[in-house]
Amino acid sequence: MKIAIGNDHVALKMKLQIKEYLQENEIEVIDVGTHSSERCDYPIYGEKVAELVVSGEADYGILICGTGVGISLSANKVNGIRACVCSEPYSAKLSKQHNNTNILAFGSRVIGIELAKMIVSEWLNAKYEGGRHQKRIDMIREIEKKQLFKLSEKKEDKS
């Protein structure tokens, strides 16, 4: 399995710890940065990880910022991404089983490293259940398609 991981300056230490945890578990990691504690903007890293996931270069993504909110919001702007912020393992597990999340996010200012590892483990080990959940995932996809259609209509109006 290949995981893309990204973070902002606030979450550098936790990103390195999670990266090590994944590698210890024989998981290949693509680290998109940031690689320093210099102040930076989380949307850059949210988008980078999201692009790797939708292109199939990574199976899943993990994003960490101060709260996990900004970086997951950014990733969710990329079509096909279902990112969720989790501060406990139950939601992480269910987010995979029911919502087929492809990116997990959390906040280095919110949770400690041991809880973060537990959340990652529950999420990675959970399997999407499909069945009755697929209809809702398809509905999310339809929202994305509608937005893209509106955008293309606007462009045509201008040309």
The residues of the shown chain that bind ligand RB5, judged by CB under 6 A, are: 8, 10, 42, 65-67, 69-70
**Measured from the CB of residue 34, what is the shortest distance to ligand RB5 in angstroms?**
11
> Mind telling me the catalytic residues?
65, 98
Strands (E), 8-155: 28-31, 60-65, 83-85, 103-107
* Residue closer to ligand RB5, measured from CB, 4 or 105: 105
Nearer to ligand RB5, 14 or 120 (CB): 14
CB of 107 to ligand RB5, least distance (A): 6
Minimum CB distance to ligand RB5, residue 110 (Å): 9
Which residues contact residue 50 at a Cβ distance below 8 angstroms, ignoring those fewer than 6 apart?
61, 74, 75, 76, 77, 78, 81, 83, 103
How many CA atoms, within 13 angstroms, populate the side-chain half-sphere of residue 6? 26
Looking at the Cβ atoms of 111 and 124, the one nearer to ligand RB5 is: 111
Nearest alpha carbon to residue 45 among 133, 93, 125, 105: 105
